[in-house]
Amino acid sequence: MTRILIRIQYDGSGFNGYQKQLNGRTVQDALERALSVIHKANSWPCTSSGRTDTAVHGLNQAVHFDTPLSISMERWPMALNSVLPDDVQVLQAMTVPAGFHARYDTVGKVYRYRIYTTGSRDVFRRHYAHHVKGNLDPVRIQKAAAHLEGTHDFTSMTSAKTEVVDKVRTLFRVQVEQNGDDLELVFVGSGFLYQMVRVLTGTLLKIGSGEWEPAIIPQIIARKDRIAAGPTAPGNGLYLEDVFYDEESLQAYLRELDEPAGGRT
Amino acid sequence: MTRILIRIQYDGSGFNGYQKQLNGRTVQDALERALSVIHKANSWPCTSSGRTDTAVHGLNQAVHFDTPLSISMERWPMALNSVLPDDVQVLQAMTVPAGFHARYDTVGKVYRYRIYTTGSRDVFRRHYAHHVKGNLDPVRIQKAAAHLEGTHDFTSMTSAKTEVVDKVRTLFRVQVEQNGDDLELVFVGSGFLYQMVRVLTGTLLKIGSGEWEPAIIPQIIARKDRIAAGPTAPGNGLYLEDVFYDEESLQAYLRELDEPAGGRT
């Protein structure tokens, strides 16, 4: 058996999230069905870096699976894409050691939340960005974001339904980017709790609109109660942008964030 | 009763076309339901400039209806948008004379077909542009396009199922535009037959890929047989961009097309 790590992209608008479940169409279902077709098996399991919620998109999600087939790494994406639905696509495949694990071996993840405030809502963006009425002040959001960086107990910033016991996570960077008319919130962290990015975003929006002050962040964290934070922002503006398995790639990404926006691709 | 002309935008991906029908969700259904809510009636009819097919988008579609209500033209879009689903939006409303007709009074329409050839298919564009494998030569397409301009019997370029008897139409302009990595085909005409823009596009793609020569166009037109033309391109890349009711607006649009792409908005 060879263990293979694939990178995938998916449009979350037609899925009930990544993780397979009793009802509804999921990304994992689509992948496992494609893998079972290629392996001529009834089912074929795969393991992702973590789930994403309903409506949330994946730009470079990471998934591993084992295979006895001797398909080349160049041909794997094509083979899988030929049987995948048109809203999931394999970008790349690489062999990894048998002990590699897509979830446990991550050293960092990047989420990006897209917001637009200009004009009225755009029917073509309804699945791809969150429309906010009124102005948002990026300077206020960046001030608040600085309070989020570091290692904290994020109990206030995750769904009250989270079953994970240890709610301490490290945010390496929370950055506000102006991308044309869009405001994008970039979250780089060691790992994220259930709905954490959406609660962080809902909270930062309260600050960007002027309703709350940036200095409220340390108070919210200290409360360790979900009720202290802002609302959960909708899933449609959220993208799992990248997943890192080595420190160098993570550091390279963080250095890229430091460059002026025009210099990045 | 006041006759009102509204301009609407819709994402065609969730609709079985514009025109109401026995089965499936349509844009007209959505509009008439919204109008009936506002008028507190069981139904409320409206008339568009023409139907669009399944998956085809509307950027500035025109629709008229009559109303006894005294809502201001500024408030009509907001009133309708508050009850419309999130994939249709009213952009603007204006009063028109009682004799105005959204379909019969058009002096021209613009359709735009979006194509991308770069890389592999993009899951986020599957509803919004047509992916073509391999290169397309815009110079060949523009040469062929010149043969399409003018007044012709477009029997070869419409669905064989078309029930309209008179298949003579005038294409004022067929233009190829490079928009970043996208190739866009712009069709400005007096009116269009059923599936005409999609057959024109399918034919131009055969020429752009090098399979057919630009000079084949006059032969295809002369044949007056649907079988002579290329395949019907999929609906997802197609946008009804604009509908004109006065000669000046149409001429202004055509002049804009003559300006270098950088100069236009």
Neighbours of B110 (CB within 10 A): 22
Cα nearest neighbour of B124 on chain A: A11
- Confidence (pLDDT) at B261: 60
Alpha-carbon gap, residue B175 to A89, rounded angstroms? 32
- Confidence (pLDDT) at A261: 60
Q: Look at phi and psi of residue B238 and say left if phi exceeds 0, alpha if psi is from -120 to 50, else beta.
A: beta
SS3 content of chain A, % helix, strand, coil (to 5): 30, 30, 40
Alpha-carbon gap, residue B189 to B243, rounded angstroms? 10
- Confidence (pLDDT) at B264: 47
Contact assessment for residue A43 and residue B157, using Cβ atoms and an 8 Å cutoff = no
Q: In Å, how far are A48, A62, A129, B122 from A91, measured between CA atoms?
A: 15, 10, 23, 10
Contact assessment for residue A244 and residue A50, using Cβ atoms and an 8 Å cutoff = no
Establish whether A10 is an annotated binding residue.
Answer: no
Percent of chain B past pLDDT 90, that is, above it, reads 89
Alpha-carbon gap, residue A132 to A117, rounded angstroms? 5
Asked if B81's CB is within 8 angstroms of A123's CB, the reply is no
Q: Identity (one letter) of the amino acid at A93?
A: A
Structure letter (DSSP) for residue B254: H
Q: Which residues lie closer than 8 Å to A168 by C-beta, 6 or more apart? A: A151, A152, A153, A154
Q: Which residues of A touch B87 (CB under 8 A)?
A: 123, 126
Q: Identity (one letter) of the amino acid at A89?
A: Q
Provide the CB-side half-sphere exposure for B236 (13 A, CA).
15
- pLDDT, tens digit (0-9, with 9 covering 90-100), for B161-187: 888 889 999 999 999 999 888 999 999
Answer whether residue B191 shows pLDDT above 60.
yes
- Confidence (pLDDT) at A119: 76
The mean pLDDT of B79-108, rounded to a whole number, is 97
What is the residue whose two structure tokens read 């079953």? A163
B22-26, B100-104, B243-247: which has the minimum mean pLDDT?
B22-26
The neighbouring-strand residues paired with B240 are B58, B111
In the numeric block, which tokens belong to residue B205?
Answer: 């793609």
Alpha-carbon gap, residue A55 to A235, rounded angstroms? 5
In the numeric block, which tokens belong to residue A139?
Answer: 């300077």
Asked if A126's CB is within 8 angstroms of B57's CB, the reply is no
Domains of chain B: 2-96 (3.30.70.580), 108-263 (3.30.70.660)
Percent of chain B past pLDDT 70, that is, above it, reads 98
Q: Does A19 touch chain B (CB under 8 A)?
A: no
DSSP string, B152-200: EE-GGGS-TT---S--EEEEEEEEEEEETTEEEEEEEES---TTHHHHH
Instruction: Residue window 156-175, chain A: list those with CB within 8 Å of chain B.
Output: none
Q: Does B57 touch chain A (CB under 8 A)?
A: yes
- Confidence (pLDDT) at B162: 83
Answer whether residue B263 shows pLDDT above 80.
no
SS3 content of chain B, % helix, strand, coil (to 5): 30, 30, 40
ipTM: 0.87
Q: Does A126 touch chain B (CB under 8 A)?
A: yes
- pLDDT, tens digit (0-9, with 9 covering 90-100), for B57-73: 999 999 999 999 999 99
Structure letter (DSSP) for residue B14: G
* Residue segments in chain A with a per-residue pLDDT below the cut of 50: 262-265
Query: Who among B9, B10, B123 is closest to A87 (CB)?
Result: B123
Alpha-carbon gap, residue A90 to B120, rounded angstroms? 10
Find the helix packing angle between A216-223 and A196-208, rounded to 10°: 150
A182 part of the active site: no
Alpha-carbon gap, residue B250 to A4, rounded angstroms? 57
pLDDT averaged over chain B? 95
Q: Which residues lie closer than 8 Å to B74 by C-beta, 6 or more apart? A: none
Alpha-carbon gap, residue A133 to B179, rounded angstroms? 30
Q: Does B88 touch chain A (CB under 8 A)?
A: yes
